[in-house]
Amino acid sequence: MIDIPLNDRDLSWLSFNHRVLRMAADPQVPLFERVRFLSIFSSNLDEFFRVRMPALMALHHIEEADTSLLPAVQETIREQLQEFGQILTGQLLPAMKAEGVHLYYGETIDAAHRKPVRDYFYNTVLGFLQPVIIELNKPVEMFLENNALYLVVCLSNGKHGIVNIPSANLPRFLRLPDKQIIFLDDVIREHLGFLFPHTTITGCYSIKVTRDAEIDVDEFSGHLLEKVENMLVKRQLGVPTRFLYDARMPGDLRDSLAEYFRIAHVELVAGGRYHNLKDLAELPMWSANATCTYPPMPAVPVAALEGEGSLLNVIKEKDVLLHVPYQQYDYIVRYFNEAATDPDVKEIYVTLYRVASGSQIVHALISAAKNGKQVTVMVELKARFDEANNIRWAKRMKEAGVKILYSIPGLKVHAKVALVKRKRGFQWDHIGLLATGNFNESTARFYTDHVLLTAHEGITQELELLFVYMQTGISPTRYNFMHFDNLLVAQFNLTNRFTAMIRREAENARKGLPAKIVIKLNNLQEKQMIAELYAAAEAGVEIDLIVRSICCIVPRKGIRLRRIVDRYLEHARIFIFHNNGEEEIYMGSADWMNRNLHRRIEVCFPVYDQVYRRQVRDIIDIQLADNTNAVILDAQIRNIPVERKENEPAVNAQKGIYAYVQQC
């Protein structure tokens, strides 16, 4: 094992989520966007409890394991939740009220609003409620669904009621007259006497259970599709990882509920009056003040692609590199639409990891199959939390005649690639699409990514080779004859090539030559790659890293580490190696995580066109110059704001890149 200094992955992720939380506290961020950042923080934390907390709890009980980690994580979360409450109640709710938007937050409902609340309860909400009486000294008789909301109602007869809050079926918030808003929870609280008659209500507290989402599909027998469908059912029945309760709840009631629902003490987490505050993203807002939201940044058209002719013909003649969402994603949809209807297109190949629920791209693939084209789609059924959507689309495509490949045993296919084969006379055209992000029109509006459209012979031939491999599903070790000279493909050459490029920079530094590496990632955790970066820095290589989320490397001399959290989610992966002036630039789907490099099929692709190489360098330079939203990560994974020098102009990377692409 390599013994190198590393930051903990979970604490580093919590540092990222804290940066999201600080955006909600930033007065420079528009008010309603600050509320949205609170929602993102809450949603992120829910996923952390579903995915990472089970592993931390298991590790905590292993002999000789670091038993200080779980308490450190829990204390960090506790502090962040306390800050969350202070930001919401101390800053945002008063600021919203000043804008004329009032959210009832544990307050008595005004007399003028009681009738609309009452009408909504009886006419709409009541039919979704399933109140249950429980006796805490008797065996458990009910099951709390994952991340569902409940009210625990204390009754004067010594029993307790449990009422579901049907936020999965109804809006979490009710609009009232005069720009007033009330939680669905409080609509129900106001009418508990109807649900529990013939007794007195002595208390009411909100609770929520979060359950383990990490289910291994290898536990199940049968075909992969059946395995994943079974997994989705089992996930909802997973063991608890968090019992979130209203901190005002009496301690004896909390302990009795924990025993009744078989909740361990370590899973108890105190919260506020309301849970699932990711629903703040649905909060109705009214304001004539345009400063309450981000100003519009409409996606920029690309002049070379705006003609009436065929997009595929344009790509055949020259590479196109798109920077989304700054530039229009419509061209990607058009690529698939043209391929589906062009009579000369005979074959289409594509990998799908996360697609939109109403995906135009998938509809185009279905049309292509119905138009008689050979369409092959690798659908990754193991894309966490998107499994059900992927299963639904896979079945629809298969019914239409699309050849569906259901993953590869032991591997996830995380690559974002497509290939169109067009035959004109005796000549075949190969037109490829390679991206840093998913083929998803919905997330493309707020994820920053790059998409290469190319007919480069070497790249497209290697794409075809990769799809040949994916159709067999045999271990990569059986494919020694497969060589990728242009593409970097995990399981084949990706780690070796990245390692070689890092070591080349180190050797150049030792020779006294210029040596520099710039890498932008979502996550950096893989130990061997971090060790290579440490060694390169010691040799004198200047390394700039932009890492959005998990970051286990410890900054030191020669290694500068930044994080950018802003309007858009920074999602692209970019790798730039100076190579003594013969710069090499790659983009792709691969973070430097154990899972990406060792348990997935990933593809990184070169940028050969000199115009686009200049654009990529310029975009990275703008991000490295950000002195408004960028933060420096120190050795303790703290987010340290970039200090702007006196008279230095403010640079916001995302605004700067938007202005830049308008000139491209």
Residue pair 549/16 in contact (Cβ under 8 Å)? The answer is yes
Identify whether the C-beta of residue 569 lies closer than 8 Å to the C-beta of residue 448: yes
The CA–CA distances, whole Å, from 589 to 199, 326, 488 equal 59, 19, 10
Per this entry, what is the length of the chain? 664
- CB distance 79 to 14 below 8 Å: no
Count the neighbouring beta carbons within 10 Å of the beta carbon of residue 662.
11
329 burial level (CB within 10 Å; 0-12, 13-18, 19+): buried
CA distance 219 to 321: 42
450 annotated to a ligand binding site: no
384 is in an annotated binding site: yes
* 34 Cβ contact partners less than 8 Å away, ≥ 6 residues apart: 23, 24, 25, 26, 87, 91, 92
Please tell me whether residue 322 adopts helix, strand or coil conformation.
strand
| 414, 430, 456, 578: the active-site residue | 414
Distances (CA, A) of 12 to 73, 78, 92, 592: 10, 16, 27, 15
Instruction: Calculate the dihedral angle through the C-alpha atoms of 37, 40, 46, 48, rounding to the nearest 10 degrees.
Output: -100
Which CA distances in Å does 438 have to 256, 344, 350, 435, 524? Answer: 46, 27, 11, 7, 20
Is-cis flag, bond preceding 116, omega within 30?
Answer: no
Q: How far apart are CA 611 and CA 413, in angstroms?
A: 31
Distance (Å, rounded) from C-alpha 268 to C-alpha 254? 9
Please tell me the distance from the alpha carbon of residue 451 to that of residue 585, in angstroms, as a whole number.
14
Contact 125, 170 (CB under 8 A): yes
User: Tokens in use for 280?
Assistant: 């703040």
CA 485 to chain CA centroid, nearest Å: 31
Nearest to 321 by CA among 623, 616, 518: 616
Cβ atoms 270, 205 nearer than 8 A? no
Residue 572 backbone dihedrals phi, psi, to 5 degrees: -75, 150
Query: Is residue 450 annotated as a catalytic residue, yes or no?
Result: no
Task: Show Cβ contacts of residue 159 under 8 Å, excluding neighbours closer than 6 positions.
Answer: 133, 134, 135
Q: Is 392 a known ligand-binding residue?
A: no
Residue 159, both tokens: 């029993």
> Which stretches does DSSP call E strand in 387-500?
403-406, 412-413, 417-424, 427-435, 447-454, 488-489
Strands 345-352 and 374-379: parallel
Pairing of strands 488-489, 569-570: unpaired
Provide the annotated binding site for ATP: 44, 447, 548, 571
Residues with a known catalytic role: 414
- Residues at the binding site for Mg(2+) are 354, 384
